[in-house]
Each structure stands twice: as C-alpha cells, then as structure tokens.
C-alpha cells in the first residue's frame, strides 16, 4: 500500500487487481455526529420524534454534503458519462468519522474527477442550507439559520484533516510520484476551505442531550471486527437487517441469540482459506458496502499477511461468547 501525508490530507492507495471498480472513500472526524440520525435521513421516512436527537444538526450538515456530491455526479449527464460512475455516493458514520464513498472506473483521471467533486462539496459546506432544511423537515423540526451556522462551524473544524483511501486496479506505473499529482490537486483544493466563523450562530438544544442506546439485540466489538462480525451475521441471518455501529453490531429482531455460534463461525471461516489477499478483499468489501471508515480499513490493510483466517476465527468466536 502506498501512503502520502501532506498539509492536512492523509492519502492511502491499495492496488486490487480483482476489484470490480475503483473504490474511493473520503472522511473526516468531527464531534457531535449521530449514527441513528443519519440512518433516519438515509431512509427518507419522515420522523415523528417530539424533539431532535443529539447531534441532529451536525449530522444533517454532513449528510447535506453527500447530497450535494450526488447532485453533481448525477444531474449532469455529460459529467456522468465522462466519469462512468457506477454507483451513487454513499455516506456513513463510524468511530466519530463521517465519510463519503464513491465507485468509479479504474482510471486515474476518473478518480481525480470524483475526488474533486467530493472536495468541492466539502469546500462549499455553508452553501447547503436547502439540503440541510430538507433534513430537518425529515426529522420533524424547523430549520434555523443560527443552528445551521453553528453546525457548519463544527464540521469545518473536522474538515481541517481529511482521510482518503483508494482501492483500485490501476496500471503498475501508478507510483508515489503519480499519487503526488493527485495529492497536489487535493492540497490546492483543501487550501481553499474556509475556516471563518459564520454569524449569527447558536448552539442547538440537541447538543445538550445524549445518544440513546439501541433497544435491539447487539453484540459488542470494535475496530475492523465490528465490520467483519457484521459480515458474518449477515451471512447467517439472511433477510434480517444487521448493521455495524462503531463498537457494536445491531440485529433488528428480538429473537436473535448470538450464543453457541462457534461451529457456524468455523464453517464460514473455512470458506475464506483460499481467498487471496484476504485483507485486501475485506477492505474492498468495506468500501463497497460503506460499513467501515477509511482509517479502520487502512489499519486492516497495514496488517497485511498477519491477518489470517485462523486469527479471524478466534476473534469472532471470542466476540460471540
């Protein structure tokens, strides 16, 4: 894996000759995010909650950035054809990090264009009030410009440090020098991000509340094993909704019991024995599914051959005890 860090941007690139498309993830850490709120926004179903949950405004600003990325990628047919984007931009929150993922063709120029769109939407975070207002309407609340300005200021503080992960099948000629061209483009764009405080600004009441834990059955995990445990449970619970949320895997059914699954874990892991570059395969799945943040996936890729099926099996069995 190639790594370059410069001027507030951390870039990692991993070759994967078996990847169906180039996978790009851009993320940033910010306090005040709420995974449950983001999932409400992603469903688009109006919420009947009597009051806003913790971090609703900050989460809505972040989601508005992803909406802006999709608008740019999809609203212009010429642009879409040029980039041959296979999927829409997706977003998620894991480990206090908001990240946007996009798949595109295995082409260095296409990757540059997509990253340019993502950076452009982030740079114009204060311009997404209309998208933000739609989010607040979905959450059964009226938007406030003061609260929006507060949330944008918080998000801007997180945008000072960006994490970029790319997994693609590119020519062997793509080296650190070629990635340096991409890095220079990102640094130039990042330098234009505004850090000026917006006025008027007021802290929302929701920031004085707390995140309510899920009432659904869940299994505690952490790091890359939250994502890997989710993959295992999804394979064993077809038709059931299973989600990863930072340090827990949530199963949306009251009948779920995770005890005595040792044999099922062993059977699942045996199928992975002959998978080449297992760490790269799982990292690619993490990007494609949008269920793991780029920093966690970089940690997995850095494990390299130390990441073995035997170790994976023992960790999953331990988590399911």
Per-residue model confidence as pLDDT tens digits over 225-270: 999 999 999 999 988 899 999 999 999 988 888 888 999 999 999 9
Q: In sequence order, which residues have a C-beta less than 8 Å from that of residue 22 and are 6 or more positions away?
A: 103, 104, 105, 106, 107, 110, 111, 166, 167, 168, 169, 170
Q: Quick check: 177 pLDDT over 80?
A: yes
The C-alpha atoms of residue 28 and residue 292 are separated, in whole angstroms, by 13
Q: Quick check: 108 pLDDT over 70?
A: yes
- Render pLDDT for 258-311 as a digit per residue (tens, 0 to 9): 888 999 999 999 999 999 999 999 999 999 999 999 999 999 999 998 999 999
Q: How confident is the model at residue 210 (pLDDT cuts 50, 70, 90)?
A: confident
Q: How confident is the model at residue 203 (pLDDT cuts 50, 70, 90)?
A: very high
Q: What is the predicted pLDDT for the residue at 86? A: 56
Q: In the predicted model, what is the mean pLDDT of residues 81-93? A: 75
Q: What is the predicted pLDDT for the residue at 44? A: 87
Q: What is the predicted pLDDT for the residue at 74? A: 82
The DSSP bridge partners found for residue 65 are none
- Contact criterion met (CB below 8 Å) for 129 and 143: yes
Q: In the predicted model, what is the mean pLDDT of residues 120-137? A: 95
Q: Percent of the chain beyond pLDDT 90? A: 77
Nearest-CA neighbor of 284 among 179, 168, 191? 168
For 105, the 3-state DSSP assignment is: coil
Q: What is the predicted pLDDT for the residue at 178? A: 87
Q: In sequence order, which residues have a C-beta less than 8 Å from that of residue 268 and are 6 or more positions away?
A: 232, 235, 236
Q: In sequence order, which residues have a C-beta less than 8 Å from that of residue 90 and are 6 or more positions away?
A: 66, 100, 101, 102, 290
Which comes out higher in pLDDT, residue 87 or 305? 305
Rg from Cα positions in the chain: 20
Q: Quick check: 215 pLDDT over 90?
A: no
Q: What is the predicted pLDDT for the residue at 309? A: 96
Range 2-208 has CATH code 3.40.50 = no
Q: In the predicted model, what is the mean pLDDT of residues 108-130? A: 94
Q: What is the predicted pLDDT for the residue at 254? A: 84
**What's the whole-number average pLDDT of the chain?**
92
- 224: tokens are 């890359």
- 136: tokens are 């607040």
- 279: tokens are 């760490």
The DSSP bridge partners found for residue 212 are none
Q: Quick check: 34 pLDDT over 60?
A: yes
Domain boundaries, the chain: 2-208, 218-319
Query: Helix H segments across 49-160?
Result: 56-75, 77-83, 108-123, 129-138, 145-158
């Amino acid at each position: 894996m190639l790594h370059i860090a410069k001027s507030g941007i951390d870039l990692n690139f991993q070759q994967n000759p078996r990847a169906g498309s180039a996978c790009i993830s851009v993320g940033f850490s910010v306090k005040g995010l709420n995974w449950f709120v983001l999932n409400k926004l992603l469903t688009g179903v109006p919420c009947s909650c009597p009051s806003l949950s913790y971090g609703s405004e900050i989460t809505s600003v972040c989601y508005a950035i992803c909406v802006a990325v999709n608008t740019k990628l999809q609203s212009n047919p010429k642009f879409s054809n040029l980039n041959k984007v296979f999927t829409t931009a997706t977003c998620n929150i894991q480990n206090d990090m908001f990240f946007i993922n996009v798949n595109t063709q295995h082409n260095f120029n296409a990757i540059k264009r997509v990253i340019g769109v993502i950076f452009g939407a982030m740079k114009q975070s204060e311009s997404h009030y209309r998208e933000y207002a739609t989010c607040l309407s979905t959450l059964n609340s009226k938007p406030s410009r003061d609260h929006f300005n507060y949330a944008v200021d918080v998000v801007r503080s997180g945008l000072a440090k960006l994490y970029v992960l790319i997994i693609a099948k590119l020519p062997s000629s793509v080296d650190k020098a070629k990635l340096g061209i991409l890095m220079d483009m990102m640094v130039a764009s990042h330098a234009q991000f505004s850090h000026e405080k917006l006025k008027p600004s007021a802290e929302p009441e929701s920031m004085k509340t707390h995140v309510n834990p899920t009432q659904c059955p869940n299994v505690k995990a952490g790091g890359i094993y939250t994502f890997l445990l989710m993959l295992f449970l999804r394979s064993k619970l077809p038709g059931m909704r299973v989600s990863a949320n930072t340090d827990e895997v949530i199963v949306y059914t009251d009948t779920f019991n995770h005890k005595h699954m040792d044999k099922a874990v062993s059977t699942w892991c045996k199928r992975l024995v002959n998978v080449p570059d297992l760490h790269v395969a799982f990292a690619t799945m993490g990007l494609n599914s949008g269920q793991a943040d780029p920093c966690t996936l970089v940690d997995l890729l850095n494990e390299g051959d130390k990441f073995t099926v035997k170790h994976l099996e023992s960790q999953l069995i331990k988590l399911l005890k």
